[in-house]
Amino acid sequence: MENLFTDVEIHEAVGGRITKRNWSVKGVSIDSRTILKGELFIAIQAERDGHNFIISAIQNGAAAAIVTRIPKDLPSNFPCLLVKDSLKALNDLAHFSRQRYQGKLVAVTGSVGKTSTKAMLSQVFSKFGNTYSSPQSYNNYLGVPLTLVNIPLGTQYVVCEIGMNSRGEIEPLSKLASPDIGIITNISPAHLASFNSLEGIAEEKAMICSGLASNGILIYPNDTPYAKPIVKMINKKKVRKLTFGFKPAADVYLKKIGSKKNKTSLDVNIKHIKNFSFDLDALGSHHAVNSLTVLGTIFDLGLNLDKAVNYLRTWRPGDGRGKILDLKLKKGSKDLLIKVIDESYNCNPSSLKASLEVVKNLSFDFDKVWKGKPFQRIAILGDMLELGAQAKKFHKDIADLESMSCFDRVHCIGELMENLYCGLSHKIKGLSVRDPKDLLPHLLSTIQDRDVYVVKGSNSVGLSFIVAELCKLKGQII
């Protein structure tokens, strides 16, 4: 890996007092556990004080550090840059990196779908040129500057996420990222603990316009009921716009959607100019809608849409975000085939509804051995977090969804999901537990051939444990 910054560049960007000259770094990290050899360690004072981990960072390969104080046990020959505020230094270096970068930058925000959209767009961009995207869900006041500061030299396309937990967070991150293209995936119930309404969420998401570069464009859904504050911000900032959605007036219009095997089929019209029909290697309307934002981005940049569609065909969702797992195992002497839809990373009312619809419309014609309908459709649902004062109602209302009628069993995990459990018909009631581990013995004892499991909940509920344990059964005898 080539050097990313010299000591001179870093000093120019952040100021401060430098203890040693003539060094360079290959990247930037704030985590001593994951820092790579040759990277710069920035000691941030957050939940834990990064200064307490400088020695660990050095042992793991740090080449230099930015600090607000020099620890007594620091090796005398280790290069440091002493500053007043290490978080400001991170942002200053991120700004320097963004100003140096001459390619296109896309910033993605929205209530759900940010990470999947980022992954989808990054995969397509990578076929057109050198592409860099934020690792994992780096979308907050630390993650966005870390993404920007690590943009490799020679990169042509960057995709980053911009998230928020409360009002006032998106504007400074957008101004730091200065995106050429902003994307709002959707407006739906999430982070309501910090907002009084979905209109308030839309207002905050619309602040991504505040940092758009000259001649920048915002891509947003035209079928959201909360478009008014978005359009207001577009007009205020005088940025260009491109819409997507299920309505014919959308610039990227999803004319038709269906499902077959493990795929979602789409008919899409772009600007009333060109039609595309293609399959996504993923199930669900939420993935289909994410793909519209990708096509809108490619269209605005003037890249080859036919190639982009072909690249979209090969995209697959990641762990916890709709990944489909087909597992073969044995129960005694009997061969079993089961399907697991892993949605264990995130959950809010709209994304849960989309996931349940996937299972409702699922069929099993992809395997010669596995024909016809599933034996059982089983939902394993964990708490939806950060929904504020209406959290109990949002959980209770799940029972009224039309798609719930297709399930043979519904298991609930967590305190909030008890509100759903109490409203379920006796016919489909499974178990209600607080810990995912308490559900596992029941699952193993009741598993049958052609069972379908959808596993959906907020990440901190820990439903990834259930998915991991089911995956361990592959090829095993239970």
Distance CA 461, CA 111 (A): 19
Q: What are phi and psi of 431, to 5 degrees?
A: -105, 155
User: Is residue 463 a contact partner of residue 436, using CB atoms and an 8 Å limit?
Assistant: yes
How far, in Å, CA of 457 to CA of 68, rounded?
40
Residue type (1 letter), 301: L
Torsion of CA 167, 235, 177, 130, to 10 degrees: 130
Question: What is the structure's pLDDT at 366?
Answer: 44
Cα–Cα distance for residue pair 300/149, rounded to 1 Å = 26
Listed in order, the ranges of the chain carrying CATH 3.40.1190.10 are 101-312
Six-digit token string for 62: 């740090």
pLDDT along the chain (478 residues), means of 10: 94 96 97 97 92 96 97 91 98 98 98 92 97 89 97 98 92 98 91 78 96 95 94 96 97 93 91 94 92 98 97 93 88 86 91 88 56 77 91 95 93 97 95 96 91 94 94 74
Write down the pLDDT at residue 430. 96
Q: CB–CB of 208/179 below 8 Å?
A: yes
92: left (phi over 0), alpha (psi -120 to 50) or beta: alpha
In this prediction the pTM is 0.90
Residues 6 or more apart from 161 whose CB is under 8 A from it? 107, 108, 109, 114, 115, 118, 134, 137, 138, 139, 143, 144, 147
Q: What is the pLDDT of residue 34?
A: 95
CATH topology of domain 5-84: 3.40.1390
* 320 residue type, one letter: G
Fold of 323-472: Protein-Tyrosine Phosphatase; Chain A (3.90.190)
Q: In this structure, are residues 434 and 414 in contact, taking their beta carbons and an 8 Å threshold?
A: yes
Q: Residue 186: what pLDDT?
A: 93
Degrees, nearest 5: CA angle 26-27-32: 120
Residues of the chain with CATH 3.40.1390.10: 5-84
How many C-beta neighbours within 10 Å does residue 191 have? 21
pLDDT score of 368: 47
Three-point CA angle 209, 213, 219, nearest 5°:
45
Q: Where in the chain is the domain with CATH 3.90.190.20?
A: 323-472
Assign 160 to helix, strand or coil.
Answer: strand
CATH code given to domain 101-312:
3.40.1190.10
Q: Which two tokens stand for residue 350?
A: 């709209």
Length in residues, the chain = 478
